[in-house]
Chain A
Amino acid sequence: MSLRRFAPLLTGALTMAAAATTAAADAERGHELYESRCGGCHSLDANRVGPAHRGVYGRKAGTAPGFGYSPAVRNATVVWEEATLDAWLTNPQALIPGQRMNFRVSAAQDRADIIAYLRQESRK
C-alpha cells in the first residue's frame, strides 16, 4: 500500500486514538489553555511570533495572510483539523520536519481542549 493511500487510514486511526484517550473536548478550558500556553507567541487576530489563529481550523498549513512561514510549513500539504492539529501539538517536528514552532503540549486532554477552542473560534 502506498503512503498516499495509507494516509487517510492513518488520520482516521489517529482521530480514534485521540478520542479513546480523552474526555469530551472542552472549548472553554481550551480558551484558558490557549491564553496561557499559546499566548506568548500567538493571538487570534494578529500575526506575532507565530501566525494569527482565527480561521486556522480547516485551513491549509502555511497560509495565514501576511505571516512569514518557514519553507517547511509553507510547502507542507497538511490541512489543520483534529488529527493534524493533535499531531502538531504533540510534536511539530515529527509532523512537519524543518518547522520553527517546536512547542509541545504533552497532555492529550489539553491538546483536545485547545483544538476545540481553535475550531470554535475559526467559525467566527
Chain B
Amino acid sequence: MSSPIDYRRRGLLRASGITVLSASAVALLAGSERMALAQGGNAAGDVGILNTALALENEAISAYQLGATSGLLQKPVLEVAVLFQSHHKEHRDALIATIRKLGGTPVAAKSDAEVAKALNAAALKSQADVLRLAQRLERGAANAYIGVIPSFSDRTLAQVSARLAADETMHWTVLTEALKEPLSAKALSFGA
C-alpha cells in the first residue's frame, strides 16, 4: 500500500526537529506541580490521571513497535510509524517527569508480548491491518485525553491534555489519509 503523502519531503523525520520537540515536551509539563500547589489542587488526583495517560502511551509505543517489526509495513509508512512512536515516547517521558515532580510513582509498562495479546496482534496480516489498529488506538487516545480534561484540578495539566489530544488527532488524520479513507464529514467528531 502506498501513501499519498511524501512525509520525508516535508521534513517530518528530521532528527533535529525530534530533539527540539522532546525538550519542549518536557518543558511543557515541567512546572505544573508549582501551579497545582498554588491552586490548592488535588495533586494525587492529577497523578492518577497522568498515570492512566502513561499506561495509554506505553501501550501505543508497544503497538507501534509491533507494527514496525511485523514486516508488514513498507516505506514510507514504516518511517511514519517510527516517527509517531517517537512522539509517544516523548509523551511518555514528559508524563513520567511530571508524575515524579508531583510526588507520584509512574506505572510500569507492560511487555510488548502482553500488549500483542491484548490487541490481538496475531490477527494482523497486512499493512492496512496495522494502520487500522493504529488509527483506532490514536482516535481512542485523542478522545481519552479530551475526556479527562474536566477532571484535572490543575488547569495547566488540562491544557497539556488538550495538546496531547492534538498530537493523537494529527496521527489519526495521517493514518486515515494513508488508508485512503474519508475524513470526518461533520465537525466536532472528536470528544464531547
Contacts and interface: CB of A to CB of B under 8 A. Distances in A.
Interface of A: 35-41, 43, 46-49, 70, 91-93, 98-107, 110
B56 A104 contact: no
A40 B139 contact: yes
Interface in B121-177: 136-137, 139-144, 147-148, 150-151
B118 interface: yes
Contact of B148 (A36, A43, A102): A102
19 contacts: A35-B140, A36-B140, A37-B143, A37-B147, A39-B139, A40-B56, A40-B140, A40-B141, A46-B118, A47-B118, A70-B48, A98-B48, A100-B48, A100-B52, A102-B148, A102-B151, A103-B147, A104-B148, A107-B192
A103 B56 contact: no
Interface in B9-48: 45, 48
B147 A49 contact: no
A41 B52 contact: yes
Interface range, B side: 20 to 34
Given A46-B118, A46-B119, 6 more contacts: A35-B140, A36-B139, A40-B137, A40-B139, A48-B59, A100-B48
A104 B151 contact: yes
B49 A40 contact: no
Nearest to B57: A49
Residue of A99, A103, A104 with most chain B CB atoms under a 10 A cut-off: A103
B140 A38 contact: yes
A105 B117 CA distance: 28
A103 B148 contact: yes
Secondary structure at the A interface, as helix, strand, loop or mixed, is loop
A21 to B, nearest CB: 16
B85 interface: no
A104 B140 contact: no
Contacts of A43: 118-119
Given A39-B140, A49-B55, A93 B151 contact: yes
A40 B53 CA distance: 10
B98 interface: no
B147 A105 contact: yes
